[in-house]
Amino acid sequence: MELANELAYMTVAELSTRIRRRELSPVEVVEAFIHRIEERNKSINAFVYFGYEDARRRAKDAERALMSGEEIGLLHGVPTAMKDLFDFYPGWVSTFGGIKAFKDFVPDFYCVYAERIEKAGAIILGKTNSPVMGFRGTCDNYLFGPSRNPFDVSKNTGGSSGGSAAAVADGLVPIAEGTDGGGSIRIPAAWCGLYGYKASFGRIPFVTRPNAFGGSMPFLFEGTLTRTVEDAALGLSVLSGYDPRDPFSVDEDVDFMAALRRSIKGWKIAYSPNFDVFPVDNRVSEVVANAVKAFEEAGAHVEEVKMGIKRNQRELSDVWCRLIIPINIEFFENFKQQGIDILKDHRDDLPPQYIEWLEKGYRMTILDLIRDQQIRTEIHDAIQNVLEDYDLIITPTVACPPVDNADDGNTVGPTHINGEEVDPLIGWCLTYFTNFSGHPSASIPAGLIENKLPVGMQIIGKRYADADVLAASATFERIKPWYDIYKICESRPI
């Protein structure tokens, strides 16, 4: 289908504008993207649930609304995808990251992303792959297998929002949902050459029940993966805003689109090549160090800094695992009350590293939790102290290039970088520090390794200064545009 190829790499901004002008029909747009998914998804395993019937119905409704002159939303008729984790759509299966015991579990309520993105007029085409409970920085599971990187299908996408990242990079949708509890938006953005945005904590509601406070340890986030900064700002515009169901929800209106036009001339930017603690692959370091120069071209002052973090990176990755595992235990205990005992009856659904952390979690004491929260505070304070003197912090997003996919459903990251041992689940990700702290942070494409594998650069702003992160990102995009890299994905064999 010729239209499918024509629309594949059209931005959200252009698609929505052309639909609004009636140059494109929501029905033909949705059909074009469904055709592309059917043609290309098998080779990358991005989508794991296909909601075509609902999408076609909504496309017809969108077309009627458009033709009758009804008031329409900012993303009217734009196709999107949602993640198969804690992301719910009535009547659609949720497996919580490929847990076989939940392959027939169908919720009857919406998550925030589905609720708000549909209110803005977008049309969800299906759900994308994720690792079990999102508990790693790669994307693989026993039920669906790995999501394969469109830049090199032998490599992983990163996770946990890996299916969403693959879908956007391969032109299957222009925008997709990610959630981020340790870097799950930014990690796959880095490996798939995308812009992944994690807003300030509370900016986009994250609704959890029966425990409304479950999304704070560490901070959990909803967000998007896109190919441009402008598209991320559009997504943030419709997803942000107060929700009384979230006790941390922020009631503040921000013009995120206006931020894209701001200058960063005179800004002070702190550059940390490794957060003081992470070993970083030399190829990644070289790309990011070169990319940082773009901010100087824009008139900002960039200085390399020490973060003042004294902890070992192995200790810190363990803290992240211990902080997030209680949410996982609570989840399984809730289902146990409904007659589904995962650890007793469905252990084979879970990878061994995850089972090990669940068992550690059950043995944790209140003193362990107190100590971990104190270490988390040290990281918060280190970031906050630097941002007292600087407008932004720049780091690599992840410490290594994309890893090879495993063939057993259990792809993990590297065990060593530059000869130093790292936790293969998340110890190579420079992302989880802002899940400890709540600061806004984005991964932006910084360049390529070996002319084909993307490298991400992380931009961190002050709490609630999301507009600053977007302004710096848009400036970088103008100086070092990356859109040509998707030709690598488009030209791969399918």
Q: Are 197 and 232 in contact (CB under 8 A)?
A: yes
Q: Are 51 and 92 in contact (CB under 8 A)?
A: yes
Q: Are 149 and 142 in contact (CB under 8 A)?
A: no
> Looking at 16, 94, 130, 160, which residue is catalytic?
160
Residue 251 CA to residue 203 CA, distance in Å, equals 8
Query: Which among 38, 161, 19 is positioned nearest to 78, based on CA atoms?
Result: 19
56 — phi, psi (to 5°)? -65, -40
Q: Are 144 and 48 in contact (CB under 8 A)?
A: yes
Residue 426 CA to residue 247 CA, distance in Å, equals 28
Structure tokens at 389: 């003197």
Active site residue 184: yes
Whether omega for the bond prior to residue 279 falls within 30 degrees of 0, making it cis, is: no
Q: How far is CA 218 from CA 7, 305, 369, in A?
A: 38, 25, 12
Active site residue 443: no
Residues ≥6 apart with Cβ < 8 Å to 435 = 180, 181, 182, 183, 218, 219, 220, 221, 320
> Looking at 25, 147, 161, 184, which residue is catalytic?
184
> Looking at 16, 83, 147, 441, which residue is catalytic?
83
Q: Are 470 and 229 in contact (CB under 8 A)?
A: yes
Residues ≥6 apart with Cβ < 8 Å to 246 = 202, 205, 206, 207, 212, 215
Active site residue 452: no
Count how many Cα atoms sit within 13 Å of the Cα of residue 254 in the half-sphere of its side chain: 27
Q: How far is CA 391 from CA 440, 460, 476, in A?
A: 12, 9, 15
Q: Among all residues, which ones are annotated catalytic?
A: 83, 160, 184
